[in-house]
Amino acid sequence: MAQPLQDKIALVTGASRGIGAAIATRLAADGATVAITYVASPDKAHKVVDGIVGAGGKAVAIQADSGKTDDIKRAVATVVDAYGKIDILVNNAGVITLGVIGEIKETDFERALDINVRGVFTTTQEVVRHMGTGGRIIMMGSVNSDLIPFPGASIYTMTKGAVAGFTRGLARDLGPRGITVNNIQPGPIDTDLNPADGQFAAAVTGLLAVGHYGKTADVAALVAFLASPEAGYITGAQIKIDGGFAA
């Protein structure tokens, strides 16, 4: 049987670990040729690629900082030069900036904007020039853009709120071209940055309807569906995958 993403070219930003790595692996398993970007972890990025290739898939790693416009343009150009197009974009790269408003450094604020907002815009702008009918753009937002049960996340919330708004407007812009745009909003997911047995896990787990953290594979499965032909009538959506965190 043909794989649902056979002959598709996917770009997943910030995919050397965690959710991004799981997304890249799942898209490749579904038949896509996957390019991933990373900033400063070549060993981890190439481990992801080696895993995909070892399983019979196709993948390549590209060093690119999603907070730097020139890096983004170079990464997109590298993919297009190699494959001629991009069918699926997953804007996964992001940073979490925490702190009460009076203590946040301007450099940290600027970095959050550069990666979480400007980087998403620039990557999307570059990619849509090479995306045709049936294209899929998938944002990685956060349930925290709608619900914040703890202090110190105002900057992170602001950037993910911008992603949500960008998704809605972009869906209108690109709908006539047959391109869908959706925003996935994960809740607590077990990663090395937010482990299910970490310092705050007990308190967070108490807020989850299902009583446990999600897995990176859960998010990857949702991305794979939105990237598939079956999701062609879904666009402009904000889709929570949060175990009932915001229920």
Third-level CATH fold of 9-239: Rossmann fold (3.40.50)
| pLDDT score of 242 | 97
Contact 21, 216 (CB under 8 A): yes
Cβ within 8 Å of residue 78, ≥6 positions away: 35, 62
Single pTM value for the model: 0.96
For the cut 80, the answer to whether the pLDDT of residue 2 exceeds it is: no
Confirm if 182 and 164 have CB atoms less than 8 A apart.
no
Q: Are 63 and 35 in contact (CB under 8 A)?
A: no
Adjacent-strand bridge partners of 11: 35, 89
- Among 38, 156, 213, 233, the one annotated catalytic: 156
- Residue identified by tokens 């944002």 is 139
pLDDT at position 193, please? 83
DSSP assignment letter at 232: T
Answer yes or no: is pLDDT of 225 > 90.
yes
Q: What confidence tens digit (pLDDT) does each residue in 68-94 have?
A: 999 999 999 999 999 999 999 999 999
Whether 156 is a known active-site residue: answer: yes
What would the two tokens of residue 160 be?
A: 């993910």
Q: What is the dihedral of CA 25, 17, 244, 148, to 10 degrees?
A: -150
* Alpha carbon 221 to chain centroid, angstroms: 13
* pLDDT value of residue 198: 87
For the CA atoms of 147, 152, 155, 160, the dihedral, rounded to the nearest 10 degrees, stands at -30
State the pLDDT at residue 101.
93
Residue 35 — very low, low, confident or very high, per pLDDT cuts 50/70/90? very high
Look-up of token digits 């450094």: 105
pLDDT tens, position by position, 119-128:
999 999 999 9
Within 8 A by CB and 6+ apart from 47, the residues are none
Average pLDDT over residues 154-176: 98
